[in-house]
Amino acid sequence: MEKRNLSIKQLFNLSFGFFGVQIAYALQSANISRIFATLGADPHQLSFFWVLPPLMGMIVQPLIGILSDRTWFGKFFGRRKFYLLVGAVVAVAVMILLPNAGDFNFEQRVYMSLSSAMWFGFFALMFLDTSINVAMQPFKMMVGDMVNEEQKGLAYSIQSSLCNAGSIVGFVFPYFFSWIGISKVAPQGVIPDSVKWSFYVGAAILIICVLYTFFAVEEMDPKEYAEFHGLDKKKEETKEDGNNSNNDVVVRAFITIGLVQFFCWAAFLYMWNYTSGAMALQCFGWNGLDTSVSAFQEAGDWVGICFAVQACGSLVWAMLLPWLEKKWGNKGAYAISLFVGGLGFISTFFFTNQYVQFVSYVLIGAAWAAMLALPFTLFTNAIEGSKHMGTLLGLFNCTICLPQIIAALCGGKVLSCFPEKIVEVITENGIEAVHVPVQQYMLVVSGCLLICGALAVFTINEKKKAALTVNTDMPE
């Protein structure tokens, strides 16, 4: 079967829904800590809630790959589109419910130090992240299914651009809705309307974009798919020798790149977890106690702006990566990017002006750009020619998820290692001194982790030099 080229419109149609999915993911990333802090979570508890996203990603993405490989629901629902639609519908429902966790009349009972509202939010987050993963995975698979080798680079570039655009929109939404007059403050324990409307509008855009891709794309039936990928011919080929010398190369690549991934994704987990509190304490004069005050909620809106600046910095740095790779190789470009990002994280500790923080987040974007491209490039080079590439890439997703789970489980303990600031509070018994965690230290920890990751890059034994490949996998 001739592997014809697709038009730009067809390539765009394949990935347009990813724009909406990424808006949902950006809203989750930038606002989950803010939501749970508003519901009453202690800073030491926040990392507990961040166990869910990577855990769901590690379970759901490989599972959707295996299931969709083995199913065909006819021309209308196709192979991947069925899961795309189901994931989007569930995500929309949860995006409407999650920001209203503080409005439901839950009994004020506490289990394991968490209120009923926080438990509701916990399970809502679990369903949201599961559904986002279900909706996200088919987009990457459809490019692999329907695009020939000549156009895959272009197809993933389009997908990456839509991904970054969706991130910027999702990050900016809460600030935008506050700017147009929707309230950014609410009673204690209630999520502000600006955040609620961000999730509502994000949900609407998500379902519109997904439905566009669902109806615009027609997947290949099983016979066409087999001919396109030459599966019948491959069945006739000699079985691959499982003990070939390439196995050692694959194992070493998995371990060494995985070590770098550990430092990188742990660092960004702490950024997503603690930036809201750190920004409020550092730049907005928050006392670290009352989350219903304007200072905390303004900081939450500003975090979205900073994350959008990071996404823009990532786009610019991604344009520099091919030049860095040509001059210093994949490993050199990787190490430089992580080191620059590490400096960006550490610099947040010293900038008390909210606008100067933009400098830090532009630098952090350099690390993010490298993390989305170079690990995938280095690993696919190592496994080139393997008949089990899909399985190996599914396992490689664990090097993104496991570090975040470990970091989330350790976050509260790490935060407790740092000095706390003392805030005097007027109570019925007079003035009392309250110890408040200084969450800015966790961003310094992120910077140190990225610098460790930059050093760990040099343990990688690169199989061969190859052109830069962009990976659109997000931090799940």
For position 336, what pLDDT does the model report?
95
- For residue 140 the two structure tokens come to 């990457």
What are 431's strand-pairing partners? 426
The angle subtended at Cα 52 by Cα 409 and Cα 192, nearest 5°, is 105
User: Which residue's structure tokens are 């610099």?
Assistant: 347
For position 227, what pLDDT does the model report?
74
Choose among 140, 439, 461, 460: nearest CA to 282. Answer: 439
Residues in the chain with pLDDT < 50? 236-243, 465-470, 472-475
pLDDT tens digits, one per residue of 156-174: 778 777 888 898 999 999 9
CA 23 to chain CA centroid, Å, is: 11
Q: Which residues of 338-371 are buried (b: 16+ CB within 10 A; e: fewer)?
A: bbbbbbbbbbbbeeeebeebbbbbbbbbbbbbbb
- For residue 86 the two structure tokens come to 């189901």
Q: What is the dihedral of CA 255, 259, 264, 266, to 10 degrees?
A: 110
Q: Quick one: angle between helices 149-179 and 193-216, nearest 10?
A: 150
CA distance to 70, 176, 378, per residue, from 304 (Å): 39, 10, 31
For position 68, what pLDDT does the model report?
72
What do you get for the CA distance between the two ends of the chain, in Å? Answer: 36
Phi, psi of 434 (to 5 degrees): -115, 135
What are 422's strand-pairing partners? 435
pLDDT tens digits, one per residue of 216-256: 988 877 777 777 766 665 554 444 444 455 677 778 888 99
Whole-number Å distance between alpha carbons of 81 and 155: 18
For position 3, what pLDDT does the model report?
67
Could you give the domains of the chain? 7-233 (1.20.1250.20), 246-476 (1.20.1250.20)
CA distance to 146, 148, 223, 273, 408, per residue, from 386 (Å): 20, 18, 23, 37, 34
For position 238, what pLDDT does the model report?
43
Which string of DSSP letters, residue by residue, matches 253-315? HHHHHHHHHHHHHHHHHHHHHHHHHHHHHHHS---SS-TTSHHHHHHHHHHHHHHHHHHHHHH
For position 56, what pLDDT does the model report?
78
For position 467, what pLDDT does the model report?
46
For position 113, what pLDDT does the model report?
65
What are 397's strand-pairing partners? none
For position 224, what pLDDT does the model report?
77
Residue by residue, what is the 3-state secondary structure of 366-396?
HHHHHHCCHHHHHHHHHCCCCCCHHHHHHHH
For position 473, what pLDDT does the model report?
47
For position 403, what pLDDT does the model report?
92
For position 465, what pLDDT does the model report?
47
Residue by residue, what is the 3-state secondary structure of 416-442?
CCCCEEEEEEEECCEEEEEEEECCHHH
